[in-house]
Chains A and B, each alone.
Chain A
Amino acid sequence: MDQFAYPKYRYRKPPELAGGAARTYPVAVVGAGPVGLTVAIDLARRGVPVTLLDAEDTVSEGSRAICWSKRTLEIWQRLGVAAPMMEKGITWNRGRVFHRAGPLYDFDLQPEGGQQFPAFINLQQYYVEAHLCAAAAATPGLDLRWRSRVTQVAPGADSVRVMVQTPDGTYPLDCAWLVAADGVRSTVRRALGLDFAGQVFEDRFLIADVRMKADFPTERWFWFDPPFHGGKSTLLHRQADDVWRIDFQLGWDADPEEERKPGRVIPRLRAMLGEKAAFELEWTSVYTFQCRRLERFRHGRVVFAGDSAHVVSPFGARGGNGGVQDADNLAWKLAAVLRGEAPEALVDSYDAERVKAADENLRNSTRSTDFITPKNAASQAFRDAVLSLARTHPFARALVNSGRLSLPAVEEPSPLHTPDLPGAFAPAMRPGSPAANAPLADGNHAVWLLDRLDGAGFAALCFVATDDDRARAAAALAAVPRAAAVTIAPNGVAGALRDAEGLAFRRYDARPGTVYLLRPDQHVAARWRRPDAPALAAALGRALGAR
């Protein structure tokens, strides 16, 4: 059986402590978790040199995040790191909800075919970080400094100084922008004295990672009030290496130290898995969950991303996935500002968009937690009523809330987007939405739409049916040479990708002549039935923060 071996990454004496001259770096990122690694790789691939500082010299210890969403996989695909995740991860789309001894209903998060990625993969956070670290090490312009703990932060008007503690001593590092991805206990947030407002849920959960050969299907299984764990809830997920994640709700009165001891955990597992089940305990911990966020994510030249900016309860897998979307949103904006292509105000749109997205994640995970842990007799009664109706009355299933699983935010309203003309399009792919994927053909090769967006800059998706349409789109696009054109046609139009199944046209509500302007993070900036050059130029200017 495969087992993860914790890497030990090499610390190198930083140039500052080896007699090198002090300099101001364009961007320093604090924290090499999933979010800091993603933003650093993205920035470096956009040509911005990045210094990534992490206090430790290995990946996340023990078991934390396991569910990574389709959108996260698309972002990692753009960065060239999705393949090893897909290979190692456990793919799933379906879930099942149980009440007491029996099943209530099944659900499918991705019923429609023609998908490059599943709704989710399950992969232990240590694997995710190890793959990201390998990608980071292979990315030119990315200087990843281990055992480099930021201890102090001095923000200036157009730069930030941090003090970095290493085995060879402490040194000051100056950067034009500081990205704080240093997690829920963020040193940077504390150094700036920022309030992290929100609530702690009065409940405790035991997280047990168990190694076993089991024949549960690769689905998310959630039990309300199962006979093996009376009165409380249980969640089961399969992870890589025959490791299974089991979450037991314990209640607020549980003693966290006692409950994580094998003597307490093993009987719970036996009750669930059967007296004869063969398993090995790999990791246990007891958590209390909280929902909090910073009021603003940008503070001058310091920008917060991931858990340093917001934390949610894990029901819905919105923490890590939301943070990776922060990284996706931030990297191209910082790169455009640093290259002088956009005003600094572009970074304010990160704040506007991602604060809203964080609120959506907080709202969803709070509602799930409230359903799983009813706060009073009235909400307990409603929950019991919903559960007792759900088996036979489909409407009630929509009210059962065992977690609303992470979906990418539609970044709206946003100063960067050009609104649709009234009635021009169906709402689904409106400005702010992440670009839908679709299977296409390039000659005889099957390709995916998103893989054809080069990721470096803006893109214009042009839907055509004839050579004439194509020529007209090309004329309009001459106004925006920075947007790389990707042309899609139902059938043989020379130089166009072929939408044989019609899925691209359908997902984009496209007709011949339709054009979508996509941001470098693949979110829709604007769309038209038949744009002219001035409209395209204006929309591009707006998407780069022009006022």
Chain B
Amino acid sequence: MTALKDTLNIAAPDEFYAELVALHRGLTEEQSRLVNAKLILLLANQLGDLDVLRQAMRTAREGVD
């Protein structure tokens, strides 16, 4: 089983983060939620591996209750 990556795998993290935040500029909260949901679906499809996606979902949910 492929393990979820825990160390940095994004080549330019600051650039990525700035663009991620910029993506939401000028949107309402509702619009932002929609954009984020679409983004997750696109990335999940790109990733493909359901094992990895499950690990990611579990990790994301950790500590949120």
A binds B: yes
Residues of B within 8 A of A401 (CB): 14, 17
- The segment out of A210-218, A247-255, A392-400, A472-480 that lies at the interface is A392-400
Interface residues of B in 18-59 (CB under 8 A from A): 18, 20-21, 24-25, 27, 29, 32, 36, 59
Contact of B18 among A367, A389, A394 (CB under 8 A): A367
Tell me the number of A-to-B contacts counted with CB atoms below 8 Å. Answer: 49
| Cross-chain contact A398 with B13 (CB below 8 angstroms) | yes
| Cross-chain contact B63 with A367 (CB below 8 angstroms) | no
Residues of B within 8 A of A376 (CB): 24-25, 27, 32
| Cross-chain contact B8 with A395 (CB below 8 angstroms) | yes
| Cross-chain contact A382 with B7 (CB below 8 angstroms) | no
| Cross-chain contact A394 with B6 (CB below 8 angstroms) | yes
- How many Å from the CB of B28 to the closest CB on chain A? 9
Known contacts: A378-B36, A388-B63, A404-B14. The answer to whether A395 contacts B5 by CB under 8 A is yes
Report, as a range, how many residues of chain B touch the other chain: 20 to 34
| Cross-chain contact A398 with B21 (CB below 8 angstroms) | no
| Cross-chain contact B6 with A377 (CB below 8 angstroms) | no
Distance A364 CA – B13 CA, assembled complex (angstroms) = 12
Q: Which of A370, A378, A389, A393 has most chain B Cβ within 10 Å?
A: A378
| Contact of A379 with B by CB under 8 A | yes
Known contacts: A399-B13, A399-B17, A404-B14. The answer to whether A379 contacts B6 by CB under 8 A is no
> Looking at chain A's contact residues, is the secondary structure mostly helix, strand, loop, or mixed?
helix
Distance A375 CA – B7 CA, assembled complex (angstroms) = 28
Known contacts: A398-B13, A399-B13, A404-B14. The answer to whether A378 contacts B8 by CB under 8 A is no
Residues of B within 8 A of A386 (CB): 17
| Cross-chain contact B21 with A379 (CB below 8 angstroms) | yes
Interface residues of A in 344-369 (CB under 8 A from B): 364, 367
- How many Å from the CB of B47 to the closest CB on chain A? 15
Distance A395 CA – B9 CA, assembled complex (angstroms) = 7
Residues of A within 8 A of B21 (CB): 370, 374-375, 378-379, 382
Residues of B within 8 A of A377 (CB): 29, 32
Q: A367-B18, A388-B63 are in contact. List 17 more A-B contacts (CB 8 A).
A: A371-B17, A375-B25, A376-B24, A376-B25, A377-B29, A377-B32, A378-B21, A378-B24, A382-B20, A386-B17, A389-B59, A394-B6, A394-B7, A398-B8, A399-B17, A401-B14, A401-B17
